[in-house]
Amino acid sequence: MVAFGGGITVFRRDQPYEAELLALKEKGVILAQCLNTMRERKVTKEELWPFLSFVPSGNGELIIRQAQGWAIVHP
């Protein structure tokens, strides 16, 4: 799951999603945050859950994964 733009809200420590995110992680879901969004919105890693991964570009990561055969699902 790659969060970018407004999706960063789900990964913030001040939001109530820790249990749901940990449950997804236990099932093997990769939780990745876009560093471009963090820079743009001036969000630090300390403001996000410590169990997240980070990618340079959310859109770039989606393009790479799709080329590898992964499916893209939009909420």
Residue 41 domain-assigned (yes or no):
yes
Residue 59 domain-assigned (yes or no):
yes
Give pLDDT, residue 34: 98
Average pLDDT value for residue range 37-63: 97
Give the tens place of pLDDT for each residue, 6-49: 999 999 999 999 999 999 999 999 999 999 999 999 999 999 99
Give pLDDT, residue 67: 96
How many domains would you assign to the chain? 1
Residue 17 domain-assigned (yes or no):
yes
CATH of residue 29's domain is 3.40.1260.10
Residue 39 domain-assigned (yes or no):
yes
Residue 60 domain-assigned (yes or no):
yes
Full domain range(s) for residue 46: 2-67
Residue 72 domain-assigned (yes or no):
no
Going across the sheet that includes 53-55, the strands are 2-3, 32-34, 53-55
Residue 23 domain-assigned (yes or no):
yes
Give pLDDT, residue 14: 97
Residues 18 and 63: their CA atoms lie apart, in Å, by 27
Give pLDDT, residue 74: 79
Residue 74 domain-assigned (yes or no):
no
25: tokens are 């992680």
